[in-house]
Amino acid sequence: MHIAVFLAGWTLYVDAVEEHQTNSVHDVCDLLTSLSAEGQMLTRFNGVIFNDFKTGKNGISEGPLAIGGSFRGDNAMINQRNELSCGAETESSLFGHHGLILKGTTESAVKVNGFAHIQDVENSLVTTPLNECSVKTAATNFDFEIARTQALTMSREFAGMLPNWSIDKMGAIVNIVSEGISVKQPYNLFSMPVYCPAGPSHAKNYFACKVDHDCEIPAQHLSDVHAMFLGKTSNWTGPVVQDYPQDKLMVINIPVTDGQTFDIQTKNPSIKINACNTIYNFYAVDKQGRYEPEGNFTLKRSTEKPLSGMILAPQAHVIDSSTGSFAGQIIADSYESNADDIRIQDYQSASTGKCQAFAGCV
């Protein structure tokens, strides 16, 4: 089929979804900037883990953590960067003084800068060294299930979006819209092909072109996943000639086959990326490439440098390593590392001081 004809037909599908896509992403940003407890959690906490958090000794998170399961990590330091004494919470500054919210249990000796809300205060080894900060019984107004549902909704909305940019293995960026495809996209979006480590994948990539209907994304409009994420021996240096688009929120969609492991091995995958307004959306798909709402997968970070931005992976069991770090924010089902001295960096570190929190929806 002649490419011009193919694109013309594809544009018809795109036109049918323009309003749906625009409204959806506005809903996502409304959620992220809302004053609800769960909405604020998704932007104010360095890590939001819906189940267990396990790490070796002497782990550090530069910002606060919200954990829906148990915590294991002897001699951990949580919310290290905060050095302010605690004050009264207000509706507009909810969680502003929190260092840890833990729904499950812990037997680890942990230091927390800020308030620590846990289940078993009397028998805990959690301490809060800063003035006026204390260890309290876990806050009852914080609902991890609602927060998880919202994170999954965000991830699915992004997964159903049409890419308007692509980047190839050499770092060349193409603005797909400029090639004749008309789509009203209120942010910058890249889509990776479906990854399956078990062997060659014949899965397609899809976007929600109509209500309750998916359309295939042309393969030539997908970005190169191997150079940016999977190239252990690659010399990935980010985009060449032109930089990543900076004018609005940037989303990178990374679908992973249900039940598989996605191992990020590229040394510096976030080079030249603005961590303040970038979301990496990792999500599960079935063998055909369609979003799998009940899916799960393992996300392993083996980078030498930080993976920087908002890591949106509510279906993922995360395995961290001792080299590099997550930097910015990580939202995941569970988190694990067997290494000591793990550090989860905040947005200030991720952006070298350009922002202190996620700024993609400002």
What is the predicted pLDDT for the residue at 200? 62
Per-residue pLDDT of 351-360, as tens digits, reads: 999 999 998 8
Give yes or no for a contact between 149 and 16, defined as CB atoms under 8 angstroms apart.
no
Determine the Cα–Cα distance for residues 362 and 354; give it in Å rounded to an integer.
14
pLDDT at 26: 56
| pLDDT at residue 40, as a whole number | 75
Task: Spell out the domain ranges in the chain.
Answer: 37-84+92-142, 146-350
Say which range, 58-67, 191-200, 266-275, has the weakest mean pLDDT.
Answer: 191-200
The structure tokens 């998704």 sit at 42
CB-based burial, 299-323: b 16+ in 10 Å, e otherwise: bbbbbeebbbbbbbbbbbbbbbbee
Q: Which pLDDT value is given to residue 28?
A: 77
Widest distance between CA atoms in the chain: 72
Q: Please say if the pLDDT value at position 276 is more than 50.
A: yes
Has residue 113 got a pLDDT over 90?
Answer: yes
Q: Is the pLDDT assigned to residue 14 strictly greater than 50?
A: no
pLDDT, position 13 = 43
DSSP assignment letter at 55: -
pLDDT at 2 over 50: no
The rounded distance, in Å, linking the Cα atoms of 124 and 107 is 7
Question: Can you tell me which residue has the tokens 């929806």?
Answer: 361
Q: Which of 41-55, 231-245, 315-329 has the highest mean pLDDT?
A: 315-329
Secondary element (H or E) of residue 5 = helix 3-32
| pTM for this prediction | 0.90
Q: Considering only 49-53, 134-138, 241-245, which range has the smallest mean pLDDT?
A: 134-138
How many Å apart are CA 208 and CA 214, to the nearest integer? 5
Give residue 85's pLDDT band: very low, low, confident or very high (50, 70, 90).
confident
Alpha carbon distance 73, 75 (integer Å)? 6
Stronger pLDDT, 137 or 109, i.e. the higher one: 109
- Indicate whether 51 pLDDT > 90: yes
The predicted structure's pLDDT at residue 22: 47
Give the Cα separation of 110 and 124 in Å (integer). 9
Q: Which helix (H) or strand (E) holds 141?
A: none
| Separation in Å, CA 264 to CA 73, 195, 258, 275, 298 | 24, 12, 17, 17, 11
Q: Are strands 278-285 and 65-67 parallel, antiparallel or unpaired?
A: unpaired
Is the pLDDT score of 36 beyond 80?
no
Q: Which residue has the tokens 């609602």?
A: 146
173-193 pLDDT, tens digit per residue, is 998 864 555 556 778 999 999
> Which string of b and e fits 244-261 if b means at least 16 CB within 10 Å?
bbeeebbbbbbbbbbebb
Task: For residue 53, name the pLDDT band (cuts at 50, 70, 90).
Answer: very high
Rg from Cα positions in the chain: 20
Question: How far is Cα 59 from Cα 54, in angstroms, rounded to an integer?
Answer: 10
CA distances from 200 to 29, 181, 263, 284 (A): 36, 29, 16, 17
Distance CA 161, CA 179 (A): 18
Q: How much is the mean pLDDT over the chain?
A: 86
Contact status, residue 290 vs residue 26, Cβ threshold 8 Å:
no
Residue 283 CA to residue 205 CA, distance in Å, equals 12
pLDDT, tens only, 161-176:
999 999 999 999 998 8
- Check residue 172 and give its pLDDT: 95
Q: Residue 21 pLDDT more than 90?
A: no
Distances (CA, A) of 361 to 46, 146, 172, 195, 348: 17, 21, 26, 29, 17
